[in-house]
Chains A and B, each alone.
Chain A
């Protein structure tokens, strides 16, 4: 909390942060205010992400209710083991992110960098598994939309409206994968900054926000996995 004297100084100096933490921006009074603002902003951003994905879930619900048989047949084509493995990978990465925040709060930059790197690694693993899933499907002619033409061991998928299932599958997992890639860029950037000792127990806002974002990516997958792979 800033005292009156500090506040006046701040105003007089036109907010160059005189007498304050170097990370305090001029229009905030305290680091607390700045941190909780950033966090509320992040939560609101996650709300927008939620609504973005909700469109896909609506499409899924509608077509699932119209064509349950086609969806039942189509979802069998997805290998639940791959989905399960990826679920574990993402859950583990969520744990490492939560740990990295735990470590920086205790001032342990080294451990934070380790667990951020682990998160990055797990994200790579997730995408590799996804890559194998996609290429397997593509090689059998399972494309989203018009090009959908299942062959070989997947020929049984040639039923009406299976194409809707796979369109939804590709769009949902595709958008999700884009989010994973963005998350990887975020973590690379966080690691870079951590290596330069930008973070401290007093100020680690980017790590906190990156963590929130990554947990959200995990949350989406928690719902995608049973809906797409198991039902």
Chain B
């Protein structure tokens, strides 16, 4: 019944409208003239959220309304952010398994043991380019290759 309904004065409605127009101009101007870098999206979203809040509070009269309605839309918003954040948790870090070895742990341990058991010979102790002078090319590149493989395997 009417006595329960809050009548929002025209003045409020018009000032909210003016504020909305102002914020729209603000978002256009900031987007076109100022470079916020990574903050560009947050700034735009902040302005949009302010506008949205104005619409919800005054035009949709949530300020004067039953709290349950506000709760409903808040829960909705929370779950929208859950949807976005949890999905991004995957898409932002997608492929983070690539820096993990795909060989089994026991296999890794076996290889480590084999490496440790191998007595380093003169070939393997050579590291600087100067150490390779005088060695024939094939042997040298084979040694380098082998070293590279040994290095890379665990960090594949």
* Contact present for A61 and B55 (CB under 8 Å): no
What CA separation (Å) do A32 and B32 show in the bound complex? 49
Q: Is B130 an interface residue (CB 8 A)?
A: no
- Residues of A contacting B83 in the complex (Cβ-Cβ under 8 angstroms): 51, 54-55, 58
Q: Is A44 an interface residue (CB 8 A)?
A: yes
Taking a contact as CB atoms under 8 Å apart, the answer to whether A43 and B80 are in contact is no
Q: Decide: A230 and B44 in contact? CB cutoff 8 A.
A: yes
Task: Knowing A44-B72, A84-B24 are in contact, say whether A231-B40 is a contact too (CB < 8 A).
Answer: yes
**Band of interface residues on B:** 35 or more
Q: In the complex, A225→B14 CA distance in Å?
A: 22
Partner among B40, B48, B59, B73 whose Cβ is within 8 Å of the Cβ of A94: B59
Chain A interface size, under 10 / 10 to 19 / 20 to 34 / 35 or more: 35 or more
**A51-B79, A226-B47 given; A95·B88 CB < 8 A:** no
Where chain B touches its partner, the secondary structure class is: helix
Q: Which single member of A30, A50, A95 contacts B73 (CB below 8 Å)?
A: A50
Q: A202-B2, A215-B60 are in contact. Are A226 and B31 (CB under 8 A)?
A: yes
On whether A62 and B88 interact (CB within 8 A), knowing A50-B76, A51-B79, A95-B14, the answer reads: yes
Q: Digit string of B53-85 for contact with A (CB within 8 Å is 1, else 0)?
A: 001101111000110110011011101100110
Bound-state CA distance A47–B56 (Å) is 13
Return the contact of B80 from the options A57, A66, A84, A87 (Cβ within 8 A): A57
Which residues of the partner chain A approach B5 to less than 8 Å between Cβ atoms?
105
Chain A residues contacting B92 (CB-CB under 8 Å) are 65
Interface flag for A70 (CB, 8 Å):
no
Q: Which residue of A lies closest to B14 (CB)?
A: A95
Are the C-beta atoms of B76 and A58 separated by less than 8 Å?
no
A183 to chain B, nearest CB (A): 14
Contact with A along B78-108 (1 / 0, CB 8 A): 0110011001100110000000000000000
Q: Give the number of residue pairs across the A-B interface with Cβ within 8 Å.
A: 136
For the complex, give the distance between the alpha carbons of A82 and B5 in Å: 38
B120 to A: closest C-beta gap in Å: 46
CB closest chain-B residue, reference A43: B69
A73 to B126, CA, bound (A): 52
A153 to chain B, nearest CB (A): 20
Question: How far is it, in angstroms, between the C-alpha of A98 and the C-alpha of B56 when the chains are bound?
Answer: 11
Q: Is B143 part of the contact surface with A, judged by Cβ < 8 Å?
A: no
* B153 CB-CB contact with A under 8 Å: no
Q: Which of A6-14, A140-148, A216-224 contacts B (4 or more CB under 8 A)?
A: A216-224
The residue in chain B whose Cβ has the minimal distance to the Cβ of A105 is B7
A139 CB–B CB distance under 8 Å: no
Whether the Cβ atoms of A98 and B84 lie closer than 8 Å is: no
Interface centre among B55, B79, B87 (most CB of A within 10 A): B55
The distance in angstroms between the C-alpha atoms of A32 and B44, with both chains bound, is 40
Contacts of A64 in B (CB 8 A): 41
Q: A54-B84, A58-B87, A62-B88 are in contact. Are A94 and B55 (CB under 8 A)?
A: yes
| B17 x A80 contact (CB < 8 A) | no
Which residues of chain A in 44-78 are interfacial with respect to chain B, using CB atoms and an 8 Å cutoff?
44, 46-47, 50-51, 54-55, 57-58, 61-62, 64-66
Q: Is the CB of B21 within 8 A of A219?
A: no
Bound Cα distance A225, B4 (Å): 36
In the docked arrangement, what's the CA distance between A40 and B8, Å?
A: 20
- Asked if B150 is at the interface of the complex by the 8 Å CB criterion, the answer is no
| Alpha-carbon distance between A220 and B72 when the two chains are bound, in angstroms | 17
A-B contact pairs, 12 of them (CB 8 A): A31-B1, A40-B69, A46-B76, A47-B76, A57-B80, A62-B88, A80-B28, A215-B56, A215-B59, A215-B60, A226-B44, A230-B27
